[in-house]
């Protein structure tokens, strides 16, 4: 029924030690110990890591003579190699590590979509772990908006993939993964974003349709985001409906926990499943 065991995603802020504004190597180490062939990993972080690296090399100063979009493109280009270097450093050397950079076209054009699916599933057969990220360094906002506008005139569903939560959900649906795990800086879906005791531990439906209805109801209690530029829990709930339709079990949990413990329920998290 499932062609892939797990698709996982980690956000930028989960890879950073915020107080020191540095890379959190402990997170990379923990992930590297768990990532194995059969897992597809979507990783944000290139822009934030690129910014950290640039500032280190320029006396703590940021780029300030370009547009915000151009600045992020420069940071992404600088950070992408460092991001991959850290995954390669901590993943078992017996496994290949492959970088896959995607844009919205890869999920809106059938031939490109088919190619990406084949590429990712081939990794499983070839003892490799793909690390996927949106290709921020060459993504021009004006061009992207125009392309998305034109697509909306031609088809009902349009994938933007600017947010890696959407990218992860689209890939999980594409490869029919058993699990989709979204790692965040929160322990899961909270009724009150300021109160961890309000954690919603599980969302269950007797079938896929009831589960999706329950997910849609939960959107009403979600708003805002952890930081500027992020879409927050509401967006995550919006995106996970597609993999849920395939029977994928979705888990949202804190990046400090092991993947195995999140799946087994040994730690607090929010799980979405048919049961």
Per residue in 52-76, pLDDT (tens digit) is 999 999 999 999 877 888 899 999 9
pLDDT at 162 exceeding the cut of 80: no
Per residue in 108-117, pLDDT (tens digit) is 889 999 999 9
Q: What pLDDT sits at residue 232?
A: 62
Per residue in 16-37, pLDDT (tens digit) is 998 888 999 999 999 999 999 9
Q: What pLDDT sits at residue 21?
A: 86
Q: Which of 167, 190, 180 is nearest to 250 (CA)?
A: 180
Distance CA 147, CA 86 (A): 33
C-beta atoms surrounding 126 within 10 Å: 11
pLDDT band at 244 (very low <50, low <70, confident <90, very high): very high
The SS3 assignment for 59 reads coil
The tokens 């990783």 sit on which residue?
A: 43
pLDDT band at 228 (very low <50, low <70, confident <90, very high): very low
Distance CA 167, CA 56 (A): 30
Supply the DSSP symbol for 194: T
pLDDT at 221 exceeding the cut of 70: no
Q: What DSSP string runs through 227-272?
A: STT--HHHHHHHHTHHHHHTT-EEEEEETTS-HHHHHHTSS--EEE
Domains and CATH numbers, the chain: 4-274 (3.40.1160.10)
Distance CA 11, CA 15 (A): 7
pLDDT at 227 exceeding the cut of 60: no
Supply the DSSP symbol for 21: T
- Report the share of the chain in percent with pLDDT over 70: 94
Q: What pLDDT sits at residue 29?
A: 96
Per residue in 169-194, pLDDT (tens digit) is 999 999 999 999 999 888 998 887 78
Q: CA geometry: angle at 68 spanning 66 and 72, to 5°?
A: 100
Q: Which of 231, 268, 264, 229 is nearest to 252 (CA)?
A: 268
The pTM for the full model equals 0.90
pLDDT at 225 exceeding the cut of 70: no
């Amino acid at each position: 029924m499932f062609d892939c065991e797990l698709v996982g995603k980690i956000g930028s802020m989960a890879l950073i030690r915020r107080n020191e504004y540095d890379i959190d190597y402990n997170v990379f180490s923990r992930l590297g110990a768990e990532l194995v062939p059969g897992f597809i990993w979507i990783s944000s972080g290139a822009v934030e890591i690129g910014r950290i690296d640039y500032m280190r090399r320029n006396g703590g100063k940021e780029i300030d003579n370009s547009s915000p979009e151009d600045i992020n493109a420069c940071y992404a280009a600088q950070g992408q190699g460092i991001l991959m270097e850290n995954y390669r450093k901590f993943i078992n050397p017996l496994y290949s590590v492959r970088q896959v950079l995607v844009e919205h076209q890869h999920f809106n054009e059938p031939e490109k979509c088919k190619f990406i699916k084949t590429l990712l599933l081939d990794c499983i057969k070839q003892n490799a772990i793909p690390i996927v990220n949106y290709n921020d360094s060459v993504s021009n906002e004006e061009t992207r908006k125009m392309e998305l506008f034109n697509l909306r005139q031609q088809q009902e569903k349009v994938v933007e993939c600017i947010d890696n939560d959407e990218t992860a959900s689209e890939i999980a649906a594409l490869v029919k993964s058993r699990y989709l795990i979204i790692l965040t800086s929160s322990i899961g879906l909270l009724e009150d974003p300021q109160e961890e005791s309000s954690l919603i531990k599980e969302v269950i439906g007797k079938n896929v349709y009831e589960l999706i209805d329950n997910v849609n109801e939960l959107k009403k209690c979600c708003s805002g985001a952890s930081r500027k530029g992020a879409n927050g829990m509401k967006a995550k709930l919006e995106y996970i409906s597609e993999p849920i339709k395939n029977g994928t079990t979705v888990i949202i949990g804190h990046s400090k926990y092991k993947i195995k413990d999140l799946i087994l329920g040994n730690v607090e998290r929010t799980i979405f499943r048919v049961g």
